[in-house]
Amino acid sequence: MRGVGCEIGDNDMKRREYSFKQIGIIHTPHRAASETPVQPVFAKEIRGTVEVFPEYIDAMRDLDGFSYIYLFYYFDRTTQTRLKVKPYLDDKIRGVFATRAPHRPNKIGMSVVRLLRMRKNIIEVEDIDILDGTPLLDIKPYIARFDVRRPVRSGWQDDICDDIAGRRGRRDYKKEK
Amino acid sequence: MRGVGCEIGDNDMKRREYSFKQIGIIHTPHRAASETPVQPVFAKEIRGTVEVFPEYIDAMRDLDGFSYIYLFYYFDRTTQTRLKVKPYLDDKIRGVFATRAPHRPNKIGMSVVRLLRMRKNIIEVEDIDILDGTPLLDIKPYIARFDVRRPVRSGWQDDICDDIAGRRGRRDYKKEK
């Protein structure tokens, strides 16, 4: 067994911590959580910009060849951690790992957004469901060969019809804002 | 502009750091990076277990309804950060954000693995491309409605044919090990 491994129930197991630094900032029209769509699919055509801090500009090379990118960010306005949550799209209590809710033990957010264009350290994106000012942690390309799966089951989400998902998923977002 | 916002080129901008804690440990047959497939699609049928620390067991509820889950983890055996890398599948230098290489400014790893079954705080998974003993940071469900996209372009990956990707993507993994 490796150094960081542990037996179940072993109270002496070592729990490590890892420090991640902000590498940029996400600018969007979403100023209030209650008016922010809960997923990119419910945020169609909403545009935003990802500002990568200039010292990381070399890491952005070749990114503009991809139609979609993953943004990884920190849910900086979520203060609580809850192991059980009521998802926005559902009325039943679910384990937080079975949801995309922000109240997670580690507040890592992930969104797949459409890349429109890049200029220097700025990426223009569409379908953005992220609060304005959110700290960026990482960017990865969405690669068809790796990321398109055919899940037989999407758990409790399979019981939510598209109409209801669309209505609840947009939350109180108003285009005219 | 929000508190954490900044102007491009403003050297006084505030770069924050965020601490993430290990919430579990990933057990796999992969003991050496050079023999570890670079993506789950190149790790077909390779099994592993995800051990979630017992205090998070409530967060796992309902997760077993999903065919695939995302594992988020820390690349704990990657010491270097490189903004430009030569991907395993390619011979050209690329920006690290246009790749899934581990040498990123924040060493967040992500894999979409097949969920086989759960018992208590243990998740049995398949298609695992992660080094044994890797610290787990988060789990999210793979949800068809959110995560299946139809990218027109997958950048430089579009120039790599499936045969070469499969051969190079498996690296030196040997089934008999």
Domain span at residue A127 reads 24-144+155-165
Task: Tell me the one-letter amino acid at A49.
Answer: T
- Quick one: pLDDT at residue B176? 56
Give backbone dihedrals phi and psi of B55, rounded to 5 degrees, phi first. -70, -10
- Quick one: pLDDT at residue A172? 85
Is the backbone of residue B62 left (phi > 0), alpha (psi -120 to 50) or beta? left
Contact in structure between B40 and B128 (CB atoms under 8 Å): yes
Question: B73 in a domain, yes or no?
Answer: yes
- pLDDT digit string (tens) for chain A, length 177 residues: 333 333 444 544 578 999 999 999 999 999 999 899 999 999 999 999 999 999 999 999 999 999 999 999 999 999 999 999 999 888 999 999 999 999 999 999 999 999 999 999 999 999 999 999 999 999 999 999 899 998 889 999 999 988 899 889 999 887 655
Question: B16 in a domain, yes or no?
Answer: no
Taking the CA of residue A49 and the nearest CA in chain B, the distance in Å comes to 12
A15 token code pair: 């729990």
CATH number of the domain within which A81 lies: 2.40.30.70
DSSP per-residue codes, B80-147: ---SEE--TT-SS-EEGGGS--S-SSS-EEEEEEEEEEEETTEEEEES--S-TTEEEEEEEE--HHHH
- Quick one: pLDDT at residue A151? 83
Structural domains of chain A, count: 1
Question: B34 in a domain, yes or no?
Answer: yes
Helices (H), chain A: 144-147, 162-169
Residue identified by tokens 């979409």 is: B112
From A70, A144, A153, residue closest to B67, measured CB to CB: A153
**Cα of A31 vs its chain's centroid, Å:** 16
Question: A79 in a domain, yes or no?
Answer: yes
Q: Any chain B CB within 8 A of the CB of A29? A: no
Residue B6, pLDDT above cutoff 60? no
Question: B6 in a domain, yes or no?
Answer: no
Question: A38 in a domain, yes or no?
Answer: yes
Question: A90 in a domain, yes or no?
Answer: yes
Q: Any chain A CB within 8 A of the CB of B120? A: yes
Q: A164 vs B140, which has greater pLDDT?
A: B140
Please judge whether B56 and A13 are an interchain contact, meaning their C-beta atoms are less than 8 angstroms apart: no
* Tens-digit pLDDT profile for residues A115-145: 999 999 999 999 999 999 999 999 999 999 8
Question: B103 in a domain, yes or no?
Answer: yes
Please judge whether A16 and B135 are an interchain contact, meaning their C-beta atoms are less than 8 angstroms apart: yes
Q: Which residues of chain B make contact with A15, given a CB cutoff of 8 A? A: 21-22, 53
Q: What is Dmax (Cα atoms) for chain A?
A: 58
Taking the CA of residue A104 and the nearest CA in chain B, the distance in Å comes to 8
